[in-house]
Amino acid sequence: MRSTKTIHVISAHAEGEVGDVIVGGVAPPPGDTIWEQSRWIARDNTLRNFVLNEPRGGVFRHVNLLVPPKDPRADAAFIIMEPEDTPPMSGSNSICVATVLLDSGIVPVSEPVTEMLLEAPGGLVKVRAECRNGKAERIFVQNLPSFAAQLDTTLEVEGLGTLSVDTAYGGDSFVFVDAAALGFSLVPDEAHDLARLGVRITAAANEVLGFHHPENPDWRHISFCLFAGPVVRDGHQLRAGAAVAVRPGKIDRSPTGTALSARMAVLAARGQMTPEDTLTAVSLIGSTFTGRIVSETTVGGRPAIIPEISGRGWITGTHQHMLDPDDPWPGGYRLSDTWGAR
């Protein structure tokens, strides 16, 4: 086999959402911080196209690049590449990265609990892994500070009329809509309609409402639409359905850790969740992430929370992505049947 490049990947998923991890074959990108490195990858697009575009990737795939940490306290660092964004943080991807680091032996496992400090583009995140028989069975991630941005604001969406929405940040930026108010029960058969409609709502929210992170001026858009199910309370245990539309047009198979973090921030802002409570989000395939509020803080003078999310991850295989010098599509390709069909 001949190839002009070989990229070594360990594939994984977290509660259903694919989060591959590049463990070799790619030099660290230029930049003095992990955020600057992630901005270089986002601008350059060479690596993103190679691993995310078909035939090696697909709209369902996220890929994480392991890089040496910049912060001396961190055990490892990673850059997240999603179909359309290169974001500050991702819950499912951080769980995949932690699972790969531990289950592959890159980071030694200490049973029954292994603690790590990972450096994401948006900042440091604490990881606690419950481990048994050499396997990381459950990953707990203390996420970036999360906050509600706009609550109960109106948004006009062509073909839908006027919606009441929230916007929030949980390591990435969201617009929330009431799933039941739009006629959705959050069941698997609705995935196609949720994906297409969610992208439209996200586009409308960016055009009308916008978003800016008060401490990260580079993050100036809303990434996702969360179709939020009703919150059901049983004592201090809360539970709700969740379906997140990911651009260019798919539904997250996991309950989305950044959405869970953002929703806890919104519930806390409304006085509907306290540090004594937990919130379990349920995806369309029935997988779950559970979150809690670790503490309260501020972001740019705005009330915020430090959330912790938890879920499970599994390694699914190893791959060597190659490029034949005669391949006429060295950067891959996209077609609108899956990449953003409307």
Please report, for the chain, how many H helices and E strands are present, in that order.
5, 19
Whole-angstrom distance, CA of residue 145 vs CA of residue 260: 12
Per DSSP, the residues of 2-69 read: --S-EEEEEEEEETTEE-EEEEES-PPPS-SSHHHHHHHHHHH-HHHHHHHSBTT--TT--EEEEE--
Catalytic residue among 90, 173, 254, 261: 90
Task: Taking residues 286-313, report their average pLDDT.
Answer: 97
Task: Taking residues 20-35, report their average pLDDT.
Answer: 98
Whole-angstrom distance, CA of residue 337 vs CA of residue 133: 43
Q: Is the pLDDT of residue 342 over 60?
A: no
- Residue located via tokens 């937990």: 278
Q: What is the pLDDT of residue 197?
A: 96
The structure's pTM equals 0.96
Q: What is the pLDDT of residue 1?
A: 78
What is the 3-class SS of 128-189, one letter each residue?
EEEEECCEEEEEEEECCCEEEEEEEEEEEECCCEEEEEEEEECCCEEEEEECHHHCCCCCHH
State the DSSP code for 229: P
- Angle ∠(205,240,265) on CA atoms, nearest 5: 55
SS3 (DSSP) at 94: helix
Q: What is the pLDDT of residue 272?
A: 98
Contacts of 337 (CB under 8 A, 6+ apart): none
Digit-coded pLDDT (tens) for 322-338: 999 999 999 999 999 88
Q: Is the pLDDT of residue 312 over 60?
A: yes
Q: What is the pLDDT of residue 340?
A: 76
Is the omega angle on the peptide bond into residue 88 within 30 degrees of 0, that is, cis? no
Whole-angstrom distance, CA of residue 39 vs CA of residue 30: 10
Q: What is the pLDDT of residue 211?
A: 96
Q: Is the pLDDT of residue 20 over 60?
A: yes
Q: What is the pLDDT of residue 199?
A: 95
Tell me the two tokens of residue 101. 């680091």
Q: Is the pLDDT of residue 205 over 90?
A: yes
Digit-coded pLDDT (tens) for 250-267: 999 999 999 999 999 999
C-alpha pair distances (Å), 212 with each of 27, 147, 174, 264, 286: 31, 12, 11, 19, 32
Per DSSP bridges, beta strands 20-24 and 63-67 are parallel
Is the omega angle on the peptide bond into residue 55 within 30 degrees of 0, that is, cis? yes
Q: Is the pLDDT of residue 341 over 70?
A: no
Answer with the residue of higher pLDDT: 223 or 342: 223
- Which secondary structure element, helix H or strand E, spans residue 314, and what is its range? strand 313-322
Answer with the residue of higher pLDDT: 342 or 2: 2
Whole-angstrom distance, CA of residue 273 vs CA of residue 267: 5
**11 tagged catalytic:** no
Residue % of the chain over a pLDDT of 90? 96
Digit-coded pLDDT (tens) for 124-152: 999 999 999 999 999 999 999 999 999 99
Digit-coded pLDDT (tens) for 36-49: 999 999 999 999 99
pLDDT, the chain, mean: 96
